[in-house]
């Protein structure tokens, strides 16, 4: 079922076509290369909070249009450790498979810092003939799926995230990978609530993914067990949406309520994406405690 947004005269109308039941919708009839009226931007943000990931087929943005679209929705911020591609704006992150920039593990962007991005806006520059899809998962419905005793446990837990990784939990990279060297060039360590309150919707969402090092005050072996229990709820297939990229496509996701996985199934073909992230707020747990930076040596 599609939903047409009946916009006032000073806005740009568009249609929302859900892609999957729990997450994801394609936005049809909206040219995001044009400046967005404030009312349209607000309507898009509302749709983003509802559907978690929005897709724009064939938007064909350049760097400046990508930047303008991002600024209509929030404040662009650069990646804290990874340098950007040649010729891009300072906060445009280029992900080029030539340099091993494949994020083929489940994660939420940049959770190793306290106020991690609220949203990410990704556009496809070069895509392989086959493969290279991205999958997103809804961390709010994952929380809702938890049995009541597991929800009560999750509400109490705090989790350490770091860009140095804990390979026992997330063996996505190894220390001799070029991408690892870039991401870990400046070490960060942050304590988040395992469950955060979404600032726009009030939903409870799970804060996990491959930047998790351990659960606070829980031993390593039990941390791994608990991580896998909660993470498995996030990545259940019925909780996900998959997008087959075409050159020029754009996707924006609510980074406070999703994880994603870029599938590395395209061999030696080249895949180039460019991403802008928007500034986020400090997560707040069910008990009212906020995320906080931790000493990397602690």
* Rounded mean pLDDT, 252-263: 97
Lowest mean pLDDT among 35-39, 102-106, 109-113, 149-153: 102-106
Per-residue pLDDT at 233 exceeds 80: yes
Active site residue 91: no
Per-residue pLDDT at 220 exceeds 80: yes
Homologous superfamily (CATH) for 81-293: Clavaminate synthase-like (3.60.130.10)
pLDDT of amino acid 83: 61
Pairing of strands 240-243, 212-215: unpaired
Q: How far is CA 205 from the centre of its chain?
A: 13
Active site residue 275: yes
* Rounded mean pLDDT, 247-260: 98
Catalytic residue among 22, 66, 67, 107: 107
* Rounded mean pLDDT, 128-138: 97
- Domain spans, the chain: 81-293
Catalytic residue among 109, 166, 249, 254: 109
Active site residue 161: no
* Rounded mean pLDDT, 100-118: 88
pLDDT of amino acid 171: 37
Per-residue pLDDT at 172 exceeds 50: no
CB 196 within 8 A of CB 204: yes
What mean pLDDT is reported for the chain?
89
Active site residue 271: no
Catalytic residue among 66, 204, 260, 274: 260
Q: For 4-41, how does the pLDDT look when each residue is reduced to its tens digit (9 = 90+)? A: 665 555 568 999 999 999 999 999 999 999 999 999 99
């Amino acid at each position: 079922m599609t939903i047409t947004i009946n916009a006032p005269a000073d806005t740009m109308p568009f249609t929302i076509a859900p892609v999957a039941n729990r997450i994801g919708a394609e936005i049809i009839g909206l040219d995001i290369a044009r400046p967005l009226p404030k009312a349209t931007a607000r309507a898009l943000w509302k749709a983003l909070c509802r559907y978690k990931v929005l897709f724009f087929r064939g938007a064909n943005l350049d760097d400046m249009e990508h930047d303008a679209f991002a600024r209509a929705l929030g404040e662009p911020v650069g990646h804290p450790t990874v340098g950007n591609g040649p010729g891009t704006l300072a906060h445009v992150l280029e992900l080029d498979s030539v340099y091993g920039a494949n994020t083929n593990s489940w994660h939420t962007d940049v959770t190793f810092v306290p106020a991690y991005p609220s949203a990410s806006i990704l556009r496809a520059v070069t895509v392989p003939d086959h493969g290279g899809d991205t999958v997103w998962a809804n961390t709010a419905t994952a929380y809702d799926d938890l049995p009541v005793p597991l929800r009560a446990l999750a509400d109490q837990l705090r989790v350490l995230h770091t860009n140095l990784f804990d390979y026992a939990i997330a063996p996505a990279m190894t220390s001799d990978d070029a991408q690892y060297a870039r991401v870990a060039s400046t070490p960060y360590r942050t304590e988040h609530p395992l469950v955060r309150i979404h600032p726009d919707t009030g939903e409870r969402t799970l804060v996990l993914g491959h930047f998790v090092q351990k659960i606070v005050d829980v031993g390593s072996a039990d941390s791994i067990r608990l991580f896998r229990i909660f993470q498995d709820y996030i990545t259940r297939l019925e909780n996900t949406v998959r997008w087959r990229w075409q050159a020029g496509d754009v996707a924006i996701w609510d980074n406070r309520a999703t994880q994603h996985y870029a599938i590395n199934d395209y061999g030696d073909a080249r895949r180039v994406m460019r991403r802008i992230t928007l500034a986020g707020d400090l997560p707040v747990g069910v008990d009212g405690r906020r995320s906080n930076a931790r000493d990397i040596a602690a």
